[in-house]
Structure 1
């Protein structure tokens, strides 16, 4: 299964999130993000528009992922260098791999990364 991990600022819109997922390669069957972001209206609306459900990922699972991108701000808040990359990997399960590093939406308010589970 392909999972789109997302990170986003409070000002992000559903369009920000959809754009980030599209730029990351799309084709996901699930969205994933940190627990504290999972209830955001923009995320819930983006998920509805894309016909996807949202999986929440806890801080310990985020911190356990090896990610290629490093943001000090994100590391301090979520325990990982990239929320999008770590959420995608954690939700895709053991042995998952990223299609590539996270990408940023055109408005700069959201990031996304696509992970592929080992069964794909």
Structure 2
């Protein structure tokens, strides 16, 4: 399973989410699921529907327990994780998952997306 995890600032829109995903997906396998904090699903759910992939809600505790290479002060303050996108992707992909990409930022800097691969998929080719 390839999971795209998302984080965003207030004021982000679906276009910013799509742009962050497009940036993260360059040269990567297609995503099979999208993930976001459980209280933020409304913005990402239409994209999951359009892509025909699953939408995974990530709890605050799962975000906080997924170590991330990126350490954003804003994310640390708001969600107690270094990158909401990276943590959401890792948590949704399950135990042993790894990042295919660290967070990619939308051109308007309001949304981020990171990709993770579940450990059941094996190493990326």
Provide the TM-score with structure 1 as the length reference: 0.90
- Aligned residue for 1:99, secondary structure, equals strand
Q: Within 5 Å, give how 1:1-120 maps onto structure 2.
A: 1-25=1-25, 27-38=30-41, 40=42, 42-120=43-121
What is the aligned residue count? 118
Contact 2:36–2:44 (CA<8 Å) still a contact in 1? no
Q: CA deviation at 1:100?
A: 2.1
Cα deviation, residue 105, structure 1: 1.1
Shift of 1:73: 1.5
* Alignment gaps of 5+ in structure 1: none
TM-score, normalised to structure 2, is 0.87
